[in-house]
Structure 1
């Protein structure tokens, strides 16, 4: 009779939700996904979409490479740019003449070398030419400017302009690198990894090193591993850029009906879903719902659109789905460990830093807890009522 009563009371409590538990049941997550706060029954509830992890979705996520730098760094990848002379640069200017009685030649030498420093106004003085504006010009443009000024003064002149010091083409590299430094850029252009290498390279592994690029009051951050693996993200740096390298070990959080609830470091270049669950000791066989593994993540909008389609994505935005400060949106991946192919699919689904993996408990766990509660001796219940009355008074 007690068990029948327990079942009836448990049903009235909406699936034993009133008993203690470490998190939502799988049914609650599946019901809440995609609903607005009003539909869920609470204000300001986060709206998220649920996507099943299968062979197609796992392959799509693992193979995705975003055109990240335009969004992550806030700049297009661009090219090397135009290497021009700037204030503070030191140039070596060599002037040649055909005759020995020219302005810059003697019987012993038909050439003269001059070292000039570009002044704050962008100009420098050349004998018999006067002030020449160098700032903003390439070496060849500067050569042609000097040559044109000497044609009616020197004897069949020719000019060579070489860069000695490029103070105006400096990039600051600091943080978790071998040695923080101001790195001079060469005239052909250099990538992020080039200037980091000049600063001694990162002190930590690329999979736990983040690169922040600051340019013209804007900044963006990405994982150094992503820059190395995706050449399109290894953008050209520009004079005046600031690059900060920080070590931040990638971690994920494992919660629910698993043997270890913890924040866990990757400790490797890559980590898949099965490996992540295994790092926490695996699911608790006595409690876990094999069909109720969920991965909570703020995902890139391009991936969401590819997974659910633009129409569904727009519907979710209309329902109140909000992005984080990086422009990513909440997505929950649902993983069914009861399926035989889950052991293959799980190997191809990559874990990202700050992911939260939740293993829901089985419904039977709450039912067993409820039976334990209602099966307690009446004296214990009476004591509880007495204590409650005392607190109320």
Structure 2
């Protein structure tokens, strides 16, 4: 029996020594609360660690504002019959003369079946020359051509019909029922009308963004804001590209939570308490509710406001701390806004770390005792 006790004692001493040397290497989900604080600027680290309070929640509650610029908003609505480059026109010209300028003798009408509007917006009409067609309606163009021919043939009459052609078109892709290229017509001259023309939206309305690409410039708006603000229902232009897609933002959750993953935004704004709920909340067997951290690169303007400074330049590494056990801790978590690319990390409770260390010691002791017992 003394031999067994001696073996157990030696194993215990060895394990205590081993645990003291490698305790920091025990399996865990991430750094401890103390280790995070060691990385603070105050301790020669490179991150500012800030306890969340009402002032901090107000300073950091930046919600992405989407909408169209004045240039997009002020673009006038195109007429449903406005001629555009690429259109094909059909012209019929009548002349009040037995010897017509354009047609054969005895035939007082001339039919030009396919007159293409070139890339610069012009057409060529015999004896009228090169005429600007794009931007005009067929009626306006008729008057222009009539005036040009009137000096050369008596009382000319002109009829213009807009025939098949590329005309003014818009492409619609993404989360719509029917992707494709659509002409700008009377019902679809505005953004909402074109979305309806494409069969409507198929993604979740709350997190759907509408991107309009025009002349190399991209602007976007939330779908819900488009319908709440009629002045944002912009007029479309030839060549516009409309991309409909769900919100692409996400954030990362790590540590002692119900799940560890990248989490997409399920609404336009998400609070810290909602972010935790999306991954199943805190792991009740592991989590330290006093150690909920949100890590992000904060713009200098916000960082200066949060820290009460005015000398910081460029993005700053910020670590915001939530203590859910405080009387107003849950309210702070409810009011703190999560932003794109944030990392939400929950530390393990000190008890869990102690329990792991104890298991690392007791496990080998029990194994040694069992082997000694079997040996006897």
Q: TM-score range by the shorter chain?
A: 0.5 to 0.7
Structure 1 alignment gaps of length 5 or more: 41-46, 105-111, 322-329, 384-393
Alignment partners' CA distance in 2, 1:266 and 1:6: 46
The structure-2 alpha-carbon separation of the partners of 1:21 and 1:222, relative to structure 1 and needing over 3 Å to count, comes to: farther
- Out of 322, 334, 344, which is 1:335 matched to? 322
1:259 and 2:258 aligned? yes
**8 Å CA contact 1:65, 1:230 repeated in 2:** no
The structure-2 alpha-carbon separation of the partners of 1:148 and 1:183, relative to structure 1 and needing over 3 Å to count, comes to: same
Alignment partners' CA distance in 1, 2:305 and 2:165: 46
The structure-2 alpha-carbon separation of the partners of 1:149 and 1:261, relative to structure 1 and needing over 3 Å to count, comes to: same
Give the superposition deviation at 1:179: 0.5
1:124 and 2:123 aligned? yes
Where does residue 196 of structure 2 map in the other structure? 197
Superposed CA offset, 1:218-261 (max 9, x none): 66777655666778876655422323334568655432122343
1:22 and 2:68 aligned? no
Give the superposition deviation at 1:85: 4.5
**8 Å CA contact 2:52, 2:321 repeated in 1:** yes
Give the superposition deviation at 1:23: 0.8
Where does residue 176 of structure 2 map in the other structure? 177
Taking structure 2 as the reference length, the TM-score comes to 0.65
RMSD: 5.2
**8 Å CA contact 1:6, 1:371 repeated in 2:** no
Superposed CA offset, 1:9-48 (max 9, x none): 86x88xx533321011223333325599xx65xxxxxx65
Where does residue 366 of structure 1 map in the other structure? 353
**8 Å CA contact 1:259, 1:283 repeated in 2:** yes
**8 Å CA contact 1:166, 1:184 repeated in 2:** no
Alignment partners' CA distance in 2, 1:296 and 1:349: 13
Number of matched residues? 345
Taking structure 1 as the reference length, the TM-score comes to 0.63
**8 Å CA contact 2:292, 2:344 repeated in 1:** yes
Superposed CA offset, 1:159-202 (max 9, x none): 99887778342111123211012122359995544433321122
1:80 and 2:75 aligned? yes
Structure 2 alignment gaps of length 5 or more: 1-11, 102-109, 371-376
Alignment partners' CA distance in 2, 1:114 and 1:54: 76
Give the superposition deviation at 1:158: 10
Superposed CA offset, 1:71-99 (max 9, x none): xxxx96463169684322245889999x9
